[in-house]
Structure formats: C-alpha cells, structure tokens
Structure 1
Amino acid sequence: MSTGPDSASATAPLPPTPPPSFPYRLVATDLDGTLLRADDTVSVRTREALAAVTAAGAAHIIVTGRAVPWTRHILDDLGYEGLAVCGQGAQLYHAGEHRLLTSVTLDRQLAGLALSKIEAETGPLALAASRDGLDGEVLIGPGYRVLDDELPAVFVDDPAEMWAAPLNKVYIQHPELDDDALARVARATAGTLVDVVMAGAGVVEILPLGLNKATGLSLAARRLGVTAADTIAFGDMPNDIPMFAWARHGVAMANAHEELKAVADEITASNCDDGIAVVLERLLLGRPGPV
C-alpha cells in the first residue's frame, strides 16, 4: 500500500482545529464606559476577542442602563443581533428581530410619593422620564441638564406631561448635590418605595423596587440556558454592582467608579484601552488571572 506523498492519506485535509477553550458560557458587558470607547465605538481588538469567545461556545449579552430607544441604534451599528438587557433590567430586547420581549414599568404613584420624600430633604429636583415601549420617548423637564445632545429626547414645559403614560424610570438631578450625594439621600428617604441607582455622570435614576441589572440579566440567562455560575460580567458604574453580585466573576474597568471597584473580582484596563479584550484574551489562553 502506497504511503508516499502522492497518497490519498497524505493529501487529505486535516481535521478542523477545535476552538480554544473558554471557562464561561456567558459574557455580560455594560455599554457606556465599558464596551464603548469615548467616541461610542468598539475597537477592532475587542470585537475580535468577543468573536473568539463566541466561537468557543460562549454567548455575549449587552446589559445597559439605556432604554431600548437609546440603545438599538448602537446595537444596529455594531451588527449585534442577540438579546440585550436595557433600562437597568426593565427591558429584554431581541436586537436581531428588533422586538421588545419583556418590559417592567414604574408605579407612577409610588414614584411620585418617592419624589415628594426626596424633595422634602433636598428641595426641588429637575426631572426627566423614560416612557415604556420600543419607541418610548425620553421626556426632559425644566432645568434637567442633557449630557448627550445626540440622544433622542423631547423637552416638555409642564412636568405633568411626564406622568401621562407608562414609564420605565425617572431621572433626577439637583442644582447643588453631586451624583453620589443625591443618590445617597434618595436611597435613605425613599429606598423602601423605589430603587435608586447612580448610572453615570449626571445620571441618578428612580426604578421599580427590586429591579436592577441582575434581575434583567438572570431573565435573559434563563432564556439562553445558562446560569450565574457560567457568567463573567464587565462594568464601570455603581448600577453594575447587582450584576457583579449575581455573576460568577465581575470585572471593573480602570475607569470605573470606586464603589464598583470595591466589589469587583478584578480590575482591567479602561474602556478606551481594550479592557474587555485584555481579560478575554487571557482567558482564551487558559490563564485564569486574578480571582
């Protein structure tokens, strides 16, 4: 039997190389300050790292404080077609189908009572509100500072307009208190009625009690057939703390808020320095790193 270089066995294609091993089945990433760089783009390196982990059998899911109307254009630009947890966990969105799967709304009566309690301590607040639904508008009340004028918003002169339809959340600002101080006061005075999170610079939010990124992520994980023990999560702000508590491993960006760094399992490079890719590449090489 011939065994030379012209034999069939010598010319047969080699079997495909198996994908690299990866210790998690789900990679959950926050959006702003985590997956997105300062210019709202995702680097080639991070895209390639995420593609490699999905090739290894893991799923990638975006978990963001943004409501769907403020998120879907970014997902479309990224070519992202999976599930996304939006609105601090209030909304589960199928990006590929452009379909809102689940949505939780804020009890407007309780929210009004909570605001009254907060304002009794702080004085008048400036408000904005995120309306429920796939096309829900963000309504901006008098005095509320919009930090990103490229995001779709509707300015209203009468604050009562914000309460006329179902809401996912209410944003609050104070003319003197910084974000951390405002969030602390709001939790202390109204924390039995609503949840309060600090989600970014100038972004303090009132949410339905018990709602957070972990509740939304757990719902998405069940649909994907994975668990908390299968999950690595990346984030940068205090609103990511529940997600870190839920996931097996929480990674804070170098640019993260100190409250999140304090509970993280490890700290990576910043969002502008491919912090997500740094960790994923290491894990793909079988190097567990910090625990």
Structure 2
Amino acid sequence: MKKAVFFDIDGTLWDEKQQIPDSTREALRLLKENGHYLFICSGRTRVFIPDKELMPLGFDGIVAGCGTYGEFQGETKFYHKLEKEQVERLCGYLKKLNTGFVLEGRYALYMDRECFHPDYRFYDQISKELGDKLLRVSENEDNIEISKFCVNYVKQGQKELEQELEQDYFIIHRDGGFMEIVPKGFNKATGIQEMCKILGIAHEDTYAFGDSTNDLDMLQYVAHSVAMGDGMQEAKDAAEYVTTALWEDGIYNGLKHYGLI
C-alpha cells in the first residue's frame, strides 16, 4: 500500500548549514523506490524552498507556508493567500511597531532592510538565496501577495502586539527572537489533510518527520509521527516515535523503524 511521508526541512532534512546527511539521501531514494509518496512539509513559503537542493531527492509534492500552499508533481493544488485588505491593514500596523517583519508569499518575500538591526544576518542570507525574489515592502505595497509573515519581538508593547495579532492569526514563538504568524485555521496538519483529500490518501497511511514547535500540529495529526533525536523536547513529546539525531541517521532509522525502507 502506498504511504505518504511528510518531512520538515530545517533541523529534519538538513542542518543549520543546509547540509544533508548521505544516509538521508539514501533513505529517501529507497522510500521512493518502494513506491511511496514523498512530501516536503515546511513553514517556509514556496519561494523559499530551494528546488535545486531538495527536489532531486525524489519529492512528489510540497506543503508550504504552514499549510497555506500545496503542490503535487509541479502543479499547484491549493493556495490560501491573505486578502488585499488584510495585507494593507497588516502593513500599516506593522510599520508603526518600529520592529522588523518579513511578509512571506508564494513568489516572493518582502522586507525592508532598514527595519532590522545592522547586524541582522538573516537579511543577507535570504538575499543571497532569493536574489530578485526578495522585494521591499515599501515599494510593492499595491502588489504584495502573501499567506503568512514573521515579526521580531518588540521591546515595548509585546503583549499588546500579540493581543492584536491573536484576533486573526496563530502565533508560533520561534528561536532567534521572532514570531511566525499564520492565519487562523491553517497549519501543517491542515495542509497535509487537504493534500491527502485531493490525492485520496487514507489517514492511516500518513507519516511525518519533524523537530520543532511548528511541527507539533502535523506530528499530532498524522497516523505515525517521528521526532528527530536532536529536536526540541516538545516535538519529542508529541511524536509516536523518537528517532536518532539528524547526523546519526535519524531519517534512515525512522523510516526503517516503520518498515518503509
């Protein structure tokens, strides 16, 4: 019976230097060879998922943007973007906070460099990765298309900020001093559910690998969930099985545990 296996990227498929263990490559090859579906399931929006590095590993599809986007064999199956009025209201509010924020879309990311501390390296990193797909907020406000966003913590008024956002969004507190913000009703689990419904994949045939707090929904939703051995404790607590660390053949051992390879 064909199974569908969903993999987080950061901390699961690759490390902080975007290095992928050879054992992971071999595990994915065997998984594909055995006839199963391979999916990326990421909080990153589609534009920030590098095809060159990941898609040759055998992935059939992608669930991106915390469940707001899905594609299968190169075809977009669903995309839930924010309405234009929401984006306009959001941009106006975030600009008043005097803090950095990143608007995340299907085709581009939007951020104004001057909103971040001069030593903030994330801008340089994504600028190198995205090139002309990293755009300024200030120069594109009439054409912004996004499904989620991130906001740095503010020194004053953090509680008020969260209360404002909680009306329409779900807040994921991440390491590195920022919050990942997703429209209510969407997460990795809803994306998996929508994709499986479209493809006719039974729930009992679903598996997921993750390592952090933004993986909790999918780890709790799928029939069989695996947390990386070097992942966050919250992910381990939510998973059915805890495999070894990323560089200790974690993906390979997790798939072997379930007899998928």
TM-score, with structure 2 as normaliser:
0.79
Tell me if structure 2 keeps the 8 A contact 1:68–1:87.
yes
**Alignment-mate amino acid for residue 147 of structure 2:** N
- 1:167 counterpart SS class: coil
Alpha-carbon distance between aligned partners in 2 of 1:56 and 1:263, rounded to the nearest angstrom: 27
User: Could you tell me how far apart the structure 1 residues matched to 2:195 and 2:252 are?
Assistant: 23
Choose which of 205, 215, 221 in structure 2 pairs with 1:230. 205
The letter of the residue matching 1:281 is K
1:1-12 aligned at under 5 Å gives the runs none
Looking at structure 2, the residues matched to 280 and 108 of structure 1 have their Cα atoms a distance apart, in angstroms, of: 42
Aligned counterpart, 1:90: 68
Aligned position for 2:196 = 221
| CA shift in 2, pair 1:244/1:162, >3 Å | farther
Give the Cα separation in 1 of the matches to 2:37 and 2:174.
Answer: 25
Distance 1:69-1:285 versus aligned 2 partners, 3 A rule: closer
2:118 maps to 1:139: no
- Which residue does 1:105 correspond to in 2? 81
Give 5+ residue unaligned stretches, structure 1: 1-21, 287-291
CA distance in 2, matches of 1:165, 1:117: 15
Report the identity percentage. 22
Q: Which residue number in structure 2 is paired with residue 60 of structure 1?
A: 38
Q: Evaluate the alpha carbon distance shift between residue 118 and residue 267 of structure 1 in structure 2; reply closer, same or farther with a 3 A threshold.
A: farther
Asked whether the equivalents of residues 170 and 184 of structure 2 are also in contact (C-alpha less than 8 Å), the reply is yes
Residue 186 of structure 1 deviates from its aligned partner by 5.6
Partner of 1:167 in structure 2? 146
1:34 partnered with 2:17: no
Once superposed, what is the RMSD of the aligned Cα atoms?
Answer: 3.3
1:130 equivalent among 104, 107, 113:
104
Name the TM-score, length of structure 1 as normaliser: 0.72
Cα offset, 1:126, TM superposition: 1.4
Partner residue, 1:15? none
Report the equivalent of 1:11.
Answer: none
Once structures 1 and 2 are overlaid, which stretch shifts more, 101-110 or 64-73?
A: 101-110
Residue 247 of structure 1 and its aligned partner are, at CA, apart by 0.5
How big is the shift at 1:87?
A: 1.3
Deviation at 1:75, TM superposition (A): 5.3
- Equivalent in the alignment of 1:239: 214
Q: In 1, are the aligned partners of 2:68 and 2:80 still within 8 Å (CA)? A: yes
Q: Which has the larger radius of gyration?
A: 1
1:169-190 per-residue CA deviation (whole Å, 9 max, x = no partner) reads 121012559xxxx7x8765553
Distance 2:232 2:9 in 1: 15
Report if the CA contact (8 A) 2:70-2:78 is conserved: yes
Contact 1:169 1:206 in 2 (8 A): yes
2:136 to 142, 151, 156: 156
Cα drift, residue 116 of structure 1: 8.2
Contact 2:99 2:151 in 1 (8 A): yes
2:7 paired with 1:51? no
Cα pair 2:168 2:184 within 8 Å, conserved: yes
**Structure 2: any 5+ residue segments left out of the alignment?**
none
* Cα offsets for 1:55-74 (capped at 9, x unmatched): 33422211011111111424
Question: How far apart are 1:278 and its partner, in Å?
Answer: 1.2
* CA distance 1:229–1:146, shift in 2 (3 Å): farther
What is the alpha-carbon distance in structure 2 between the residues aligned to residue 77 and residue 53 of structure 1? 14
